[in-house]
A and B are shown apart, each in its own frame.
Chain A
Amino acid sequence: MSAKRKRPGPAADPGVTEHEKTVHDVIRSKKDMGVSQWDLKREINIAENIITKCIKSLVSKSLVKEVKIIQNRGRKHYMSVEFEPSSEITGGAWYVEGSLDTEFINVLKEQCWRKIYAVKVATLEGIADAIKRSNVCQIELTKQQVEEIVKALVLDNEVMEVKSTGTGEFASIPVGKVCYKCIGKRGYGGEPKLGALASIPCGVCPQISRCTPDGIISPNTCAYYQKWLDF
């Protein structure tokens, strides 16, 4: 039951019902964190179907927007349009629409690797400067964000973290400062050396704990071996 209001309220929202205003007020009070429908129901003592209608109406009137959050259950929050979602719920620069922006991350990773490769040994500040100067991305990255990318390169085993000795290739870097070097002799994206166990079917088999010499799962009956030895 929604009766159109004749005179607009202090927030100058034309055509908003009493219920819609209550819902909007609560949503607005949550500022840049927004609120889920479930939490709304707990705060406002109105029937659920009315809340749902109000939300739909507010969204269609562009007073409230939907924001996907990155936490486990992939829920969404509702937020008043004048706020920018906090990075706590959006995940910050690395997330878009509630999912990881893997393309963007991969581009940045490769660019950081190239900057390090070009100078053989690089400090975090050096990498951040180089990225900024090369304009690879439209938004400006903070030093912390560059650090996150470089640390991910370390996890990928593309780059290693070392401390400067002040001599040799570290000559221009103060002693003890953390810096980064590219690993080994392969280019970017090359796979690390394949281990002995990993190069045979048993090494990658999800059933190895159930495999026995004369069981249902055994080397003689193994489908992975069959495929591997199919010459």
Chain B
Amino acid sequence: MIKLLNARFVERCPASEPVLTNPTKQELSARKRAAKYAKILEEQETLEQRVVEAAAPPEALRFLLLTQTEPAAEGKDETSSPIVAPGEKRKHDALESGTEYGATDEPVVLWRANFEEFIRRLRHKACIENVKTRLDDGAVTVLKAMLEATRSTEKKVKTENSVPLSLSSIYEEVIKSEDGRNITFDRVRASLIQLSCPPFVIAANESYSIDFKKIIEMAQNEEVESIVLKRYGKDAYRMFRLLSNSSHLLETDKIADAAFVEKKETPKILYKLWKDDYLQMEKLQVTGAKRLTQFLLWKVNKKLLREHVLDEMFHASLNLSQRVAFELEQEQELLNIPRDKRLSRLRKVRLLLESSQMKLDDAIMLFHDF
């Protein structure tokens, strides 16, 4: 249990009956200043958020296993790292729940799996996998060490950057790991330079921090580009990448020139991508010397595209499940084929469908949770 707690895989359950106090006058006026628009929506969210916040155990208690009934304030040794008190309101709740726990002689503490930690670890794993395809083992070991060192300081799963670390702290962490035992200080420094191109790690003022947002975005882009390549072809792939890397609208002929695609073919391909919601299009009419010319401008809207691709992934996941069920059903009916051949086929079919489902699940997490 202690091991699980130290690794944060397990946490205290939130309180079953949280007590909400009315916000103070100060807090109310601060809120009014902060949010002038969508007042009603904000209030509803705030109520739910307040309940969740009030129910959640304070960070200091969350991963703490009490061996005595004393209030948690003293028992700090088993928590991983000190966390700054979030704010007035939280402190207020801590006192409340503190008394709740201290009230009975034998407090019953309920534990649950900490899904947040699982998702965080999977996110880190995905980052490592991505970097592995581009850089050598040394760089991967250094990255793993940095992740290990900063994991407990991450406040939320979708953290954009890790906490900055100095070169010496990174080196210390690297030599602790099995893979990194024999790595020299210079090699660590060289790996960090490697990791800055593409910029997986940002170096600033002699300290280094991992750019999670960049790594995840790169992985998402690769997934989307793979779909474009397979569905629409190599020419479309080049044009899509051009638009994806450019932050502004580009005109049809310019796209054709840069991507080396026939000028006649370019509008057809772009139109197909647009029809399937992979691109956005705008029309521009220019009055020239004697006639009106129409230009078509194209762009990739990354946020909308991510949502659209996630949608397609959910759809595909459903299709896979449905097909597995269908194949199992069908198997009963194929009596004209000898039994061993049927079973062998069914085994292969299930293997293919179910492994595709698992792979797709990873991709869905990449777009939804990471």
Contact = CB atoms under 8 A, between A and B. Distances in A.
A and B together in one complex: yes
A12 interface: no
A209 interface: yes
A229 B327 contact: yes
B33 interface: no
A10 interface: no
A155 B259 contact: yes
Contacts of B241: 155, 157
B230 A204 contact: yes
B222 interface: yes
B360 A197 contact: yes
Interface residues of A, number: 52
A204 B246 CA distance: 25
Given A156-B238, A167-B193, A197 B326 contact: no
B316 A197 contact: yes
Interface in A54-80: 70-72, 74
A202 B345 CA distance: 21
A195 B264 contact: no
Contacts of B257: 148
B322 interface: yes
B229 A196 contact: no
Interface in B273-326: 276, 309, 312-313, 315-316, 318-320, 322-323, 326
B319 A219 contact: yes
B150 interface: no
Interface string B235-266: 00111011000000000000001111111100
Contacts of A160: 198
Judged by DSSP, the binding face of A is loop
| Chain B binding surface SS class | helix
Contact of B134 (A183, A196, A220, A231): A183
B269 interface: no
B349 interface: yes
B359 interface: yes
Contact of A168 (B193, B242, B315, B356): B193
Given A100-B260, A165-B196, A202-B319, A152 B360 contact: no
A165 B264 contact: no
Contacts of A220: 322-323, 326
B51 interface: no
A219 B356 contact: no
Given A74-B264, A195-B363, A208-B312, A200 B356 contact: yes
B226 A193 contact: yes
Contacts of B345: 231
Contacts of B222: 192-193, 195
Interface string A131-172: 000000000000000001001100111001010010110000
B173 interface: no
A29 B248 CA distance: 39
Given A197-B360, A208-B315, A229-B352, A105 B327 contact: no
A155 B356 contact: no
A94 interface: yes
A119 interface: no
- 6 shortest A-B CB distances, which residue pairs? A195-B226, A196-B363, A202-B316, A219-B319, A155-B238, A198-B226
13 contacts: A152-B238, A155-B239, A157-B241, A167-B193, A185-B133, A196-B363, A197-B316, A202-B312, A202-B319, A203-B316, A222-B319, A225-B323, A231-B345
Interface of B: 133-134, 190, 193-194, 196-198, 222-227, 229-231, 234, 237-239, 241-242, 257-264, 267, 276, 309, 312-313, 315-316, 318-320, 322-323, 326-327, 344-345, 348-349, 352-353, 356, 359-360, 362-363
Given A208-B312, A229-B353, 6 more contacts: A185-B133, A196-B360, A197-B316, A200-B316, A203-B227, A219-B319
